[in-house]
């Protein structure tokens, strides 16, 4: 191979080596030939003398390498004089004199020096590769490319093509020399090779781009000129050299760089072949025959044998040892023992001291441990680059001094282009809140009207209320109506792990708002940052949150009255907010949005019902549904309407009908039907009598909420049955109403007592409700004469009760009295109506669900007048009859499997039966 030292060089005279070394210019090969010519005058063709102090210790390594250089130079000098190298190798000479082996007079192998002589200098100290060097490099490049992804492989191929075309930098040449020298490929060497290739690939790519731009020029000058045109430019522009932007290098490039380096290194290692031999084999077959060039002790336990390949080739042409990367190795116990054995062997073989085999020592690490040792460094580099990239790219286009752009606000901005489409008409049922907030709209639209009268404009408003009541919707509608930019963010977005990010984001948000005046800022869930500072101090507080809150306070103070920035904030917990936030001049207005009333719900249903396909009368439908949904928020109603449409679609209906809405509401109120939960008949009977007890109480007590439905189909979590009473919107309750309600709640257990020998655990939730109601009557509502007109708040955090032991005992007694009165009231009724309870329970057992019409059929009309609104929608069966053109017959849908436990029953409402139009 082209870059290998000739083994015969080892026989070059030492004085020649010395003078050659003196003459060799340190870094330039260009002067090489002429120098060699000068030296050749003092050459001896052959010398057996060698420096006697040649050592086997570690220093021999460096000595050997300098000797090689010297040898190389002198051999080159010889060839330049026309002298033929080819004397026997050191150590082999002795053998040859004693054996029949003959040494061919010439060495066909090409030496590095001969290559050097052929090298032609190119621009910038680049050296053109000889065909042999090209071949050497090409073999490796092929191997590398086969392991890389396509695009990367192309880069490497391009780099190689450029190197072939335009020569190589001295660094690569010296690396190739080292490799040829048999030096093992180290990771740093691999990295250097990859770096050089990368640079070439980059240059070629840049050149490609440049040449695209100036293709006409490129064509004139040819590819070589094109490639080097950049270098020329660089030279011309030395005063202002182009900056190497390492940090703009993509992560992928860096990773590629690292990975291909490691790959190359691994490849070069795996390329090496070796064969383990014993000391005896080494001594008999190699050492005694003079085939050993040098020995390398690796990690003090393995010896690598470098043979004179030419000599081996001549003696054994088929031996694998003639291959460039083949080595014999053998294991040693200790270096001392090995050295002793080697000395003895050499003495026995008669090798003179000055020609003894040089031994060097080296340390090698395994590929895996090397990779592992580099991994943390690579990860650190990758992380640093990633941080820098975030710093430059993530900051959102410069101008932001905060580290890595983290202090930038995350608020979403809705501008004129992405205008908020919500208008006040989309917010139903919150008339008072709308009224309040409309003032902000007028201010943003026509500030002059207010300023003329000397009125100061409110800076902001806090919208508070339970979840889903339309606070965000109202803020959006304000922006939509006023047609100004709208910044929407959440309080939690200001909280980060890094100190100082929160205040910085607040500053940025307000700075952006000021740039976009007039505008609205909406901070949802402001309690995440606006919690009262005094309350926080219990348990250490949170400095970052306080700093963020302070920044908001400062920013809101910083507006002047002409700044048309309105700050709206939403919260579910107005009670925990810091008083400083609520003071006039900041959030001047406090707008409470409660759950919608009956008419509010009706309005919200009227907003959502037209969006779905139904033939029902929208006015009647929204009225009936709003009566069915006390306590529902706007979000619940929107969800309910959507759920009804989904149920209709699931059942294959073409339109959404009343039954779908009722199912959707029931699902929201009571949870999912659990048809798979099969009760045993005895349990089912208990459930039926329990629910019948509730139903009878709800029917016959004057102040009970109107009964709508009784069911023994299990639903939700743990409910085996339920009686659905629809509470009317009521804002006050008197003692009679409360007693009736408690008696009705106890109806289940009382019914069990009256109809079974024993009772079950099913009434525990009823007792919980009753106890809480009775306790509230005693401790809060002043409904117990014994306790009097006192209010005791239940606060779980307080360790001591705010009343005496005696009061405590009296409270217990009073609660007990009230509950037992309710029990007696219930027992009286159910004993009197025992037959009716049985009637309802048996009907329930056969039908599972009874509605109001069934109750009227079984019990007659309710003896008490129902609430008017309720009567209007539920007095008789009011659901719209099926349209006349659609004769519907239940057809089981084959795509919906029947429930596992219960067979489909067309009489059972809610059974999975699909109504389809008959074709």
Q: The tokens 């054996």 sit on which residue?
A: 99
Q: The tokens 């025959």 sit on which residue?
A: 289
Torsion angle of the four alpha carbons 348, 353, 355, 358, in this order, in degrees rounded to the nearest 10: 90
Indicate the DSSP class of residue 286. I
Per-residue HEC secondary structure of 344-370 comes to HHHHHHCCCHHHCCCEEEECCCCHHHH
**Packing angle of the helix pair 805-832, 735-755 (nearest 10 deg):** 60
- Shortest distance (Å) from residue 593 CB to ligand ATP: 7
Give me the phi and psi of 723, to 5 degrees please: -110, 125
Strand partners, 486: 414, 520
Contact 489, 410 (CB under 8 A): yes
Residue nearer to ligand ATP on the CB measure, 200 or 424: 424
In DSSP notation, 790-834 reads ------TT-SS-SS-HHHHHHHHHHHHHHHHHHHHHHHHHHHHTH
CA diameter of the chain = 139
Contact 520, 478 (CB under 8 A): yes
Contacts of residues 861-866 at CB distance under 8 Å and 24 or more positions apart, as own/partner, are 862/699, 862/700, 862/706, 863/700, 864/702, 866/706
Q: State how far the Cα of 481 lies from the Cα of 454, in Å rounded to an integer.
A: 25
**Neighbouring C-beta atoms of residue 188, cutoff 10 Å:** 10
- Shortest distance (Å) from residue 144 CB to ligand ATP: 58
In DSSP notation, 236-286 reads HTTTSPPP--GGGS-HHHHHHHHHHHHHHHHHHHHH-EEEE--HHHIIIII
Residue nearer to ligand ATP on the CB measure, 432 or 794: 432
Identify the sign of the CA torsion 475, 480, 482, 484.
positive
**Neighbouring C-beta atoms of residue 636, cutoff 10 Å:** 22
Residue nearer to ligand ATP on the CB measure, 468 or 503: 468
- Shortest distance (Å) from residue 464 CB to ligand ATP: 9
Q: The tokens 């004993």 sit on which residue?
A: 831
Contact 469, 592 (CB under 8 A): no
- Shortest distance (Å) from residue 646 CB to ligand ATP: 16
Residue nearer to ligand ATP on the CB measure, 145 or 635: 635
Q: Give all strands (DSSP E) within 339-433, no chain letters.
A: 359-362, 412-414
- Shortest distance (Å) from residue 574 CB to ligand ATP: 11
Q: The tokens 């995350």 sit on which residue?
A: 410
| CA end-to-end distance (rounded Å), the chain | 88
Give me the phi and psi of 764, to 5 degrees please: -65, -40
Tokens representing 712 are: 């023994």
- Shortest distance (Å) from residue 475 CB to ligand ATP: 8
Bridge pairing between strands 486-490 and 519-524? parallel
- Shortest distance (Å) from residue 625 CB to ligand ATP: 14
Which of 293, 691, 814, 836 is the catalytic position?
691
Per-residue HEC secondary structure of 274-285 comes to EEECCHHHHHHH
Residue nearer to ligand ATP on the CB measure, 88 or 630: 630
Residue nearer to ligand ATP on the CB measure, 428 or 742: 428
Per-residue HEC secondary structure of 759-776 comes to CCHHHHHHHHHHHHHHHH
Residue nearer to ligand ATP on the CB measure, 429 or 530: 429
Q: Give residue number: closest CB to ligand ATP.
A: 634
- Shortest distance (Å) from residue 586 CB to ligand ATP: 21
Q: State how far the Cα of 510 lies from the Cα of 459, in Å rounded to an integer.
A: 13
Give me the phi and psi of 392, to 5 degrees please: -85, -40
Indicate the DSSP class of residue 521. E
The DSSP element (H or E) to which 329 belongs, if any, is strand 326-331
CA 65 to chain CA mean position, Å: 53
- Shortest distance (Å) from residue 528 CB to ligand ATP: 12
Q: For 384, what's the count of Cα atoms within 13 Å in the CB-facing half-sphere? A: 9
- Catalytic residue at 643? no
- Shortest distance (Å) from residue 659 CB to ligand ATP: 24
Name 347's Cβ contacts closer than 8 Å, sequence gap at least 6.
Answer: none
Nearest to 851 by CA among 908, 794, 895: 908
- Shortest distance (Å) from residue 634 CB to ligand ATP: 2
Residue nearer to ligand ATP on the CB measure, 263 or 582: 582
Coil vs helix vs strand at 524: strand
- Shortest distance (Å) from residue 631 CB to ligand ATP: 14
Name 531's Cβ contacts closer than 8 Å, sequence gap at least 6.
Answer: 545, 549, 576, 577, 578
- Shortest distance (Å) from residue 636 CB to ligand ATP: 8
Contacts to ligand ATP by CB under 6 A: 427-430, 467-473, 524, 570, 572, 604, 607, 634-635, 638
Pure H helices in 107-250: 112-118, 131-147, 150-166, 170-180, 187-213, 215-236
Catalogue the active-site residues: 691
């Amino acid at each position: 191979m082209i870059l290998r030292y000739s083994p015969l060089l080892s026989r070059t005279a030492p004085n020649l080596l010395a003078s050659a070394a003196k003459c060799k210019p340190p870094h330039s090969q260009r002067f090489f030939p002429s120098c060699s010519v000068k030296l050749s005058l003092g050459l001896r063709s052959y010398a057996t003398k060698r420096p006697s102090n040649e050592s086997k210790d570690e220093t021999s390594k460096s000595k050997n390498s300098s000797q090689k250089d010297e040898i190389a130079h002198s051999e080159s000098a010889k060839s330049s004089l026309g002298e033929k190298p080819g004397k026997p190798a050191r150590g082999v000479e002795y053998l040859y004199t004693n054996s029949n082996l003959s040494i061919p007079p010439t060495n066909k192998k090409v030496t590095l020096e001969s290559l050097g002589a052929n090298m032609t200098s190119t621009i910038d100290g680049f050296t053109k590769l000889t065909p042999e060097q090209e071949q050497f490099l090409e073999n490796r490049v092929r191997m590398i490319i086969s392991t890389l992804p396509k695009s990367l492989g192309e880069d490497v191929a391009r780099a190689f093509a450029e190197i072939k075309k335009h020569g190589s930098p001295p660094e690569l040449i010296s690396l190739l020399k080292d490799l040829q020298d048999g030096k093992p490929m180290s990771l740093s060497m691999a990295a250097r090779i990859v770096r050089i290739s990368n640079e070439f690939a980059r240059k070629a790519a840049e050149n490609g781009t440049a040449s695209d731009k100036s293709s006409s020029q490129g064509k004139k000058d040819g590819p070589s000129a094109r490639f080097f045109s950049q270098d020329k430019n660089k030279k011309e522009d030395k005063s202002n050299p182009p900056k190497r932007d390492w940090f703009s290098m993509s992560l992928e490039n860096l990773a590629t760089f690292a990975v291909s380096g490691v790959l190359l290194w691994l490849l070069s290692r795996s390329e090496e072949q070796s064969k383990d031999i014993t000391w005896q084999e080494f001594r008999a077959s190699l050492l005694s025959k003079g085939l050993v060039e040098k020995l390398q002790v690796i990690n003090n336990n393995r010896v690598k044998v470098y043979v004179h390949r030419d000599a081996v080739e001549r003696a054994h042409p088929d031996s694998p040892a003639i291959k460039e990367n083949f080595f014999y190795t053998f294991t040693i116990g200790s270096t001392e023992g090995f050295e002793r054995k080697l000395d003895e062997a050499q003495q026995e073989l008669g090798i003179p001291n000055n020609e003894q085999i040089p031994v060097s020592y080296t340390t090698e690490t395994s590929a895996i441990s090397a990779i592992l040792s580099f991994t943390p460094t690579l990860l650190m580099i990758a992380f640093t680059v990633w941080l820098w990239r975030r710093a430059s790219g993530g900051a959102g286009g410069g101008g932001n001094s905060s580290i890595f752009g983290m202090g930038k606000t995350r608020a979403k901005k809705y501008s004129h282009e992405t205008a908020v489409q919500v208008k006040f008409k989309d917010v139903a049922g919150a008339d008072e809140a709308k009224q309040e907030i409309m003032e902000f709209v007028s201010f943003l639209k026509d500030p002059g009207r207010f300023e003329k009268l000397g009125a100061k404009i409110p800076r902001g408003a806090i919208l508070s209320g339970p979840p889903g009541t339309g606070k965000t919707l109202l803020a959006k509608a304000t922006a939509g109506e006023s047609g100004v930019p709208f910044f929407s963010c959440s309080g939690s977005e200001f909280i980060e792990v890094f100190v100082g990010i929160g205040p910085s984001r607040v500053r940025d948000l307000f700075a952006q708002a000021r740039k976009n005046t007039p505008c609205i800022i909406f901070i949802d869930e402001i309690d995440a940052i606006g919690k009262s500072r005094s309350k926080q101090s219990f348990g250490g507080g949170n400095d970052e949150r306080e700093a963020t809150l302070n920044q908001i306070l400062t920013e809101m103070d910083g507006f002047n009255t002409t700044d048309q920035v309105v700050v709206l904030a939403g919260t579910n917990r107005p009670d925990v907010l810091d008083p400083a936030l609520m003071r006039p001049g900041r959030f001047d207005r406090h707008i409470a949005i409660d759950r919608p009333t009956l008419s509010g719900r009706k309005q919200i249903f009227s907003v959502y019902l037209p969006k779905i396909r139904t033939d029902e009368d929208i006015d009647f439908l929204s009225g009936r549904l709003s009566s069915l949904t006390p306590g529902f928020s706007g979000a619940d109603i929107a969800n309910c309407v959507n759920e009804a449409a989904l149920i209709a679609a699931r059942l294959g209906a073409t339109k959404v009908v009343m039954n779908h809405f009722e199912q959707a509401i029931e699902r929201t109120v009571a949870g999912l039907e659990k048809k798979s939960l099969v009760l045993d008949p005895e349990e089912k009977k208990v459930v039926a009598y329990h629910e019948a007890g509730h139903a009878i109480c709800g029917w016959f007590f004057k102040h009970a909420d109107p009964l709508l439905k009784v069911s023994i189909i299990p639903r939700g979590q743990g409910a085996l049955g339920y009686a659905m009473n629809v509470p009317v919107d009521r804002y006050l309750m008197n003692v009679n109403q409360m007693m009736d309600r408690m008696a009705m709640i106890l109806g289940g257990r009382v019914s069990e007592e009256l109809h079974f020998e024993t009772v079950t655990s099913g009434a525990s939730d009823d007792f919980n409700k009753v106890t809480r109601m009775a306790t509230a009557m005693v401790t809060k509502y002043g409904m117990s004469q014994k306790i009097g007109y006192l209010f005791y708040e239940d606060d779980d955090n307080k360790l001591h009760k705010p009343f005496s032991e005696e009061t405590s005992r009296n409270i217990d007694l009073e609660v007990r009295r009230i509950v037992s009165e309710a029990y007696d009231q219930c027992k009286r009724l159910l004993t009197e109506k025992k037959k009716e309870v049985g009637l309802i329970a048996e009907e329930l057992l056969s039908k599972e669900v009874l509605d109001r019409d069934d109750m009227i059929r079984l019990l007659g009309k309710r003896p008490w007048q129902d609430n008017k609104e309720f009567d209007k929608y539920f007095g008789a069966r009011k659901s719209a009859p099926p349209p006349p053109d659609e004769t519907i017959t239940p057809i089981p849908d084959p795509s919906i499997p029947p429930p596992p436990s219960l067979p489909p029953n067309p009489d059972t409402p809610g059974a999975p039966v699909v109504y389809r139009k008959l074709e």
